Every structure is written in structure tokens, then in C-alpha cells.
Amino acid sequence: MAVPIEQLQNLLQKHSRSMTRPRAKVFEALQSGEPLTIQELILRCSPDIDRASVYRTVQLFERLGIVQRVQIGWKYRLELSSDFQLHHHHMHCVRCGAIIALPEDTLLEKRLHELASAQGFESQDHTIEVRGLCPACQNSPAIQS
């Protein structure tokens, strides 16, 4: 895989857009790997980049397929698309809300494609969310909220 920031630059160029400070910053913030809510993303970009620029950049990134939405429960978070990071799944802790990446598993991927194509379906992408308790929450007594 090419250096991600160069890859971003190439893609922007291909769409006749240039690398700007907000674009570089939003991209960098998303490179931490964990999916972020738009609020978290704004926080990570502040005070350099204002809220409106973050929204505009995310819109553009979504249109160009740089960023994708991950549906976690009834909310969505943003992460770099599989062009910019390795395909993976997520685990969602239902108690503290942590989102943890589940490493890619070739056999699982292959099996999913097989199951879909057995139904005559040409699969392009999928998301898997594993819900449960993270290690920290398993070891702490339940908090009544």
C-alpha cells in the first residue's frame, strides 16, 4: 500500500481537487484507525480547523469514497474507506461504547463471499458488528445508568 497521504493527494488530483489544510487534517485524524463520530472528529481537528470545514471535508470525502460511514447501533461513525485502510470488522462494547477493530480473517471473508454468491449475489462490501463487553467492562461491576 502506498503512503496514505500520497494516495489521498493522487485521488484528489484525479478529481481536480487540491490538498488543503482541512483535508490533510481530517484525513490525519481519521488515520488513528478507530471510527469517530463527527463530534469526535471536530474535536480532533480543533482548534486548527473549524467545524464547518470539517463538515464540508467529510462531505467531499464521502462523495469521493475516501470516508465511509460505519453504522454502530443507531448512530454512525466515520472511518477511512477500505481503499485507505485494511478491511476489518468492529466490536462494539454495549456498556462503555468502545469500538474495537477486529482483525481481518481471510477464511471468514472467503466464506461470506461464497455464501453470497451461492445465492447468485455479487458481493462488493459488508460490515460486521460484534456486540458485547470489552475486557475492562467484563471486570468492572455493572453501573446502573
Residue 34 amino acid letter: E
Closest approach of Zn ion to the CB of residue 15, in Å: 27
Considering CB under 5 A, how many residues would be counted as binding Zn ion?
6
Taking the complex as a whole, the smallest distance from the CB of residue 21 to Zn ion amounts, in Å, to 34
Closest to 40 (Cα-Cα) out of 31, 30, 48: 30
- Reported as type and span, the H/E element at residue 101 is strand 99-102
Compute the C-alpha angle 73/75/81, nearest 5°. 95
Q: Does 113 bind Zn ion (CB under 5 A)?
A: no
Choose among 14, 28, 22: nearest CA to 64: 14
> Cβ closer to Zn ion: 28 or 109?
109
Of 23-31, 38-46, 78-86, 93-101, which part binds Zn ion (CB under 5 A)? 93-101
Q: Binder to Zn ion among 95, 101, 113, 129 (CB under 5 A)?
A: 95
- Contact between 30 and Zn ion per CB under 5 A: no
Helix (H) or strand (E) holding 47: none
Nearer to Zn ion, 5 or 133 (CB): 133
Which residue in this structure is represented by grid cell 475492562? 136
Residue 75 Cβ, how far from Zn ion at the closest point, in Å? 16
SS3 for 102-129 is: ECCCHHHHHHHHHHHHHCCCCCCCCCCE
Q: Is 102 in the site for Zn ion (CB under 5 A)?
A: no
Region 125-144 residues binding Zn ion, contact defined as CB under 5 A: 134, 137
Q: Which positions lie near Zn ion, rule CB under 5 A? A: 93, 95-96, 98, 134, 137
